[in-house]
Amino acid sequence: MPKKKLKISACMMVKNEEELLQGCLESIKNLVDEIIIIDTGSTDDTKKIAGKYTSKIFDSPWRDDFSFHRNESIGKATGDWLIIIDADERLVSNIKKNELKKRLSNIPKNIHAAMITINVKDKYGKTMNHLESVRFIRAGKGEYKNIVHNELIIDGDQSAMPQNYLGITFDHLGYDLSEKKMAEKYARTQKLLKKRIENDPNDYDAVFYLAQSYAADNQDENAINTAKQALEAIPADHNNWSLYGGLYFLIGSKCLKIAEDKPDDEKTILIHGAVDWFEAGLLKFPTDLDLNYARFHLGLLQKNATVCFRNGMNYLVTRNKLRRNPDYLGNRFKLTIGESFENEVKKTLDNIKKKEF
The DSSP string of 191-229 is HHHHHHHHH-TT-HHHHHHHHHHHHHTT-HHHHHHHHHH
Closest among 159, 139, 180, 186 to 7, alpha carbons compared:
139
Largest interatomic CA distance in the chain: 81
pLDDT at 27: 98
**3-class SS of residue 121:** strand
pLDDT digits (tens), the chain, 357 positions: 556 799 999 999 999 999 999 999 999 999 999 999 999 999 999 999 999 999 999 999 999 999 999 999 999 999 999 999 999 999 999 999 999 999 999 999 999 999 998 988 877 787 777 788 899 999 999 999 999 998 899 987 667 898 889 999 999 997 767 788 888 889 999 999 999 999 999 898 899 999 999 999 999 999 999 999 889 888 877 777 777 889 999 999 999 999 998 999 999 999 999 999 999 999 999 999 999 999 999 999 899 999 999 999 999 999 999 888 877 787 777 888 878 899 999 999 999 988 887
The 10 Å Cβ neighbour count of residue 264 is 8
Distance CA 273, CA 293 (A): 17
For residues 96 and 167, the answer to whether their CB atoms sit within 8 Å is no
Kindly state the DSSP code that residue 278 receives in the 8-state scheme: H
For each of the domains in the chain, give its residue range(s) and CATH number, in order of start.
Answer: 8-172 (3.90.550.10), 179-353 (1.25.40.10)
Rg of the Cα atoms in the chain: 22
pLDDT at 63: 94
Q: Which residues pair with 349 in a beta bridge?
A: none
For residues 255 and 271, the answer to whether their CB atoms sit within 8 Å is yes
Helix (H) or strand (E) holding 188: helix 179-199
pLDDT at 139: 97
Kindly state the DSSP code that residue 20 receives in the 8-state scheme: T
The 10 Å Cβ neighbour count of residue 350 is 11
pLDDT at 159: 79
pLDDT at 2: 53
For residues 56-90, b (16+ Cβ closer than 10 Å) or e, as one string?
bbeebeeeebbbbbbbbbbebbebbbbbbbbbbbb
pLDDT at 250: 96
Q: Which residues pair with 130 in a beta bridge?
A: 119
For residues 292 and 311, the answer to whether their CB atoms sit within 8 Å is yes
